[in-house]
Amino acid sequence: MTYQPDPLRYDKMTYRRCGKSALKLPAISLGLWHNFGGVDHFENYQAILRSAFDNGITHFDLANNYGPPPGSAETNFGRLMKSDFAGHRDELIISTKAGYLMWQGPYGEWGSKKNLVASLDQSLKRMGLNYVDIFYSHRPDPETPLEETMAALDLIVRQGKALYVGISNYKADEAEKAISILKELGTPCLIHQPKYSMLERWAEGGLLDVLERKGVGCIPFSPLAQGLLTDKYLHGIPADSRAAKPEGYLQENQVTPEVVEKIKKLNKIAEERGQTLAQMALAWLLKDPRITSVLIGASRVSQLEDSLKSLENPEFSKIELASIEGILW
């Protein structure tokens, strides 16, 4: 049966302006870092993407190496673009990135013009697209002049392969320099994608201030701290969790008694607010007007729907915020 999106999808979502640009993003965006690769089930990730769009999520975020195997998330997304979303391309914001290892040899990672341009060409072929809406430098390169990396982003926009550009994982001083270079080149930096959550707050050490001053949007990734800010780890480490897998991004030694105690206390506040811990963690990020959108992942439709409920209770009292800070610090 041909997919027909919910005609009321735009009534379900809040959209926020990205920095000083004209672009608006949904308050919640969907990342395809996990669960959309070649090892995953087509019917499941198709259902997740359809549900996301039905709920007003217009922004899908990828990277060249998402999978596994690397590149397969873009290939799978391209398949669904053709089958489900081809008639809705102009309603979607599609982003991808380059910077982490993608292919062998000296040009398969980091921030050279060679790598960024070649990587985006490959990404466009995998997704079957003429352009992406946002293309990111996925991480700063300590050996490539920042001017070269930013010039590559500028070139890509001028070639018509991306409408906007962004940066990810850049610290405050690096971000400020990159944003200034892009402005001089005539291709403004649209957005920054940092790792940011209740449990990882380095972005508050100057980065958010830089983005606000420069008029650049912010879209945190890992807003649930790889699952720590859910009810999954309240009673130990489940056998099927990321922390139980040695190759996972969340390691067992990160789930310390101190962290578990914090999330138990946070969970109590969430329950008093009528939310799950995950919903409160997302709402806590979105309370900051400098945050354009939060980038969530989902392994099933019910998980996505749970995250969307964070938008139903976005306000925090001063007492709640003080209690949260007392727990986190």
Mean pLDDT of the region 37-43: 97
Contact 281, 197 (CB under 8 A): yes
Mean pLDDT of 87-93: 98
165 in helix, strand or coil?
strand
Which pLDDT tens digit goes with each residue over 244-282? 555 566 656 677 889 999 999 999 999 999 999 999 999
Domains and CATH numbers, the chain: 9-225+279-315 (3.20.20.100)
Looking up tokens 């930013």 gives 150
Going by pLDDT thresholds of 50, 70 and 90, the confidence category of residue 1 is: confident
Give the mean pLDDT of 201-209.
97
User: What does the block give as tokens for 38?
Assistant: 């070649």
3-state DSSP assignment of residue 191: strand
**Pairing state between β 24-26 and 15-17:** antiparallel
Beta bridge partners of 134: 95, 164
How is residue 106 written in tokens?
A: 């000296």
pLDDT in tens, 304-327: 999 999 999 999 999 999 999 999
CB atoms within 10 A of CB 272: 11
Distance CA 95, CA 109 (A): 18
Residue 4 pLDDT > 60: yes
Report the pLDDT value the prediction gives residue 255, as an integer from 0 to 100: 79
pLDDT at 242: 58
% of residues, the chain, pLDDT over 90: 90
* pLDDT at residue 254, rounded to an integer: 75
Asked whether the predicted pLDDT for residue 74 surpasses 70, the reply is yes
Q: Give the residue ranges of DSSP H helices in the chain.
A: 42-54, 72-80, 113-127, 146-158, 172-185, 207-214, 257-272, 277-286, 301-308, 318-328
| Listed range (181-185, 203-207, 246-250, 291-295) with the worst mean pLDDT | 246-250
Q: How many helices (H) and strands (E) does the chain have?
A: 10, 10
Q: Is 163 exposed, middle or buried (0-12, 13-18, 19+ CB in 10 A)?
A: middle
What are the tens digits of pLDDT across the range 47-68?
Answer: 999 999 999 999 999 999 999 9
pLDDT at 275: 97
Other beta carbons within 10 Å of 74: 29
Within 8 A by CB and 6+ apart from 177, the residues are 146
Closest CA to 276 of 219, 321, 237, 232: 232
Cα 216 from Cα 181, distance rounded (Å): 14
Cα–Cα distances (Å) from 148 to 17, 273, 312, in that order, read: 29, 48, 44
pLDDT confidence bin for 26, thresholds 50/70/90 = very high
Q: How far apart are CA 46 and CA 78, in angstroms?
A: 11
pLDDT one-digit tens code per residue, 12-25 = 999 999 999 999 99
pLDDT (0 to 100) of residue 249: 60
Within 8 A by CB and 6+ apart from 238, the residues are: 232, 244
For position 257, what pLDDT does the model report?
87
pLDDT in tens, 128-176: 999 999 999 999 999 999 999 999 999 999 999 999 999 999 999 999 9
State the pLDDT at residue 250.
Answer: 63
* Cβ atoms within 10 Å of 26's Cβ, excluding its own: 24
